Structure 1
């Protein structure tokens, strides 16, 4: 299904989708420079422009199960976080004096928005924006240079992100509005950029400066669970599903990279690629993974089957990067004119 663009635009992208099939993202014009407008699509694929109060551009970065979106509005001089209700009405956050370049990236089902801004001293900090309008600077760990909030659980109680200390990144989180804590405090470095709806985070850590990467998940209580990875070479974690399936990409058998899936117990499966370049981006609660193979959107099922999804007429490239537990896959596909359009596929 071609989700199209706003009138006069030439490209679009879905950045988030909920289980009801409602989607949020951008409709764009041009390439360099490119102008983005925040948009929402209903479950049938009808596009609606979201207002940009005080600005002329912006992005809708996430959408919750109630159809409430979060993102930001861009003016000529500033980025301002925005929240759009299910009817598309906008509320913008009044950024505290001296704070600037504020952008929102995720929203919980309880309408808590998280994002990042620059402090008056030009350091990145995460922020939390509650439904009642209260905003909190999430701060940094002692000795850290900066910290960023990147994702939030469905109930709004767990926020995950990353902090920087002397040039090394550390996975961090905030629980129930409490202070920042480190997820892997005994490791040399770590990163956890994603959390599923139940508050389980996924990422990697390095126990020493020269040690191999260790893919892992962290329970709601912070307990670390290592995922199988027998290689000393790089691995990246890209997505975690509602039941704990995890997908990633790494050099299990160099020089060729592999797309991989871990089940909820941490056991590794290499996704078949027939020797071609492959990428995997997301996974659902059943362990169905989506990504691309040979520039074509692809689905890998837990029973070992693999399906390449269709493209747009005349186009030569597609990519899948989100999947819901209800079986909707979203991504992009090129048109005959070579433009990227947001699309979705239905698996069930």
Structure 2
């Protein structure tokens, strides 16, 4: 019996099939006095970071961290009263920014929650940290002394570098980074169109090859594989593509002349997004490791897929409910909070933790998580 059960579990891991009924949603709540919250990132240990919020116009955001059991902790905002935490690495170190006198100051919080702020070069301002590698390299964007937005890189020893812009241009944004810190992905501008770009081993900004009229929606996994969309000509269709660690472009299927969006890439290379594969409905889609596309089941109601894990398990939203699609074709709704009517899932770990948001009976949006078993 033990051998048989073990075989079933291993099969579930390898094929993306359901192993148990998902547990949750678990309401992660807010800091005292706040009314809403959201998770922005989660690591494989199940530690989550995001925001505790109050008000609408204006709204106040505070950076927070939840441990794997859902216990909330406020992250300090030295010199300010609010801020955001945007990413967390495998060691529990997180990155974001603090608003100080209305100016964004990039900030890194260690695993114990202690804050370190980046001292900006003279004249630079409004710097936001967007991602952190497992080697504690932080990337983001700042406004330069001549009022141009550029990507930046902040190393663990405090060294900071302006990542510049494409030749002849003035704008760039560093948005994400590989686990080892060697590949940064983001965007630039050329000839009037947005371009996906990357920086490799501290080198200068380069476009993802081959050059196209425009490209975008760039996401990167821990190994440095990038996925996004490309328009090869001004009037040509938008198509999905994947770039390997060497920057070589690999096409992905899209047998439709209609628009497509790429939202996530898993650690093994599965890619997910949404698009009008079968108009007029919008389909949630997954591309396998060979680039073949599959429309995920939605009973004709339309859906969005936002994240995928190593074995091809996808999470997203269908009929206003957080939804998981397993690789064997099974679809399950993950449920809502008591008295609430809707939920959304937008992150999944390889270990099966799903995070998202759900509305309470009072109509407030709270951070939640589910466990797939």
Structure 1 segments of 4+ aligned residues over 4 angstroms from their partners: none
Match status 1:181 vs 2:206: yes
Pairwise CA distance, 1:82: 0.3
Pairwise CA distance, 1:175: 0.4
The aligned residue for residue 69 of structure 1 is: 94
Match status 1:20 vs 2:45: yes
- Could you say what secondary structure the match of 1:229 adopts? coil
TM-score, with length taken from structure 1: 0.99
Q: Does the Cα contact within 8 Å between 1:247 and 1:289 map onto a contact in 2?
A: yes
Per-residue CA deviation, residues 180-224 of structure 1 (Å, 9 max, x unaligned), is 111034311111521000000000111111111120110110011
Task: Tell me the C-alpha RMSD between the 2 structures.
Answer: 0.9
Match status 1:304 vs 2:337: no
- Could you say what secondary structure the match of 1:325 adopts? coil
The aligned residue for residue 284 of structure 2 is: 259
Distance 1:183 1:322 in 2: 26
Per-residue CA deviation, residues 95-129 of structure 1 (Å, 9 max, x unaligned), is 11111110001000000000001111211100000
Distance 1:176 1:127 in 2: 14
The aligned residue for residue 209 of structure 1 is: 234
- Could you say what secondary structure the match of 1:252 adopts? coil
- Could you say what secondary structure the match of 2:129 adopts? strand
- Could you say what secondary structure the match of 1:222 adopts? coil
Distance 2:275 2:151 in 1: 29
The aligned residue for residue 15 of structure 2 is: none
- Could you say what secondary structure the match of 1:259 adopts? strand
The aligned residue for residue 262 of structure 2 is: 237
Per-residue CA deviation, residues 22-66 of structure 1 (Å, 9 max, x unaligned), is 001010011111100000000000000000001100011000000
Pairwise CA distance, 1:232: 1.5
Match status 1:147 vs 2:172: yes
Per-residue CA deviation, residues 238-276 of structure 1 (Å, 9 max, x unaligned), is 000000000011111222221100001101100111111
Q: Does the Cα contact within 8 Å between 1:290 and 1:299 map onto a contact in 2?
A: yes
Work out which of the residue numbers 110, 113, 131 in structure 1 matches 2:138.
113
Distance 1:341 1:32 in 2: 18
The aligned residue for residue 326 of structure 1 is: 351
Distance 1:196 1:153 in 2: 6
Matches within 5 A, 1:17-166: 17-166=42-191
Q: Does the Cα contact within 8 Å between 1:299 and 1:306 map onto a contact in 2?
A: yes
The aligned residue for residue 253 of structure 2 is: 228
- Could you say what secondary structure the match of 1:256 adopts? coil
- Could you say what secondary structure the match of 2:172 adopts? strand
Q: Which ranges of structure 2 fall in alignment gaps of 5 or more residues?
A: 1-25
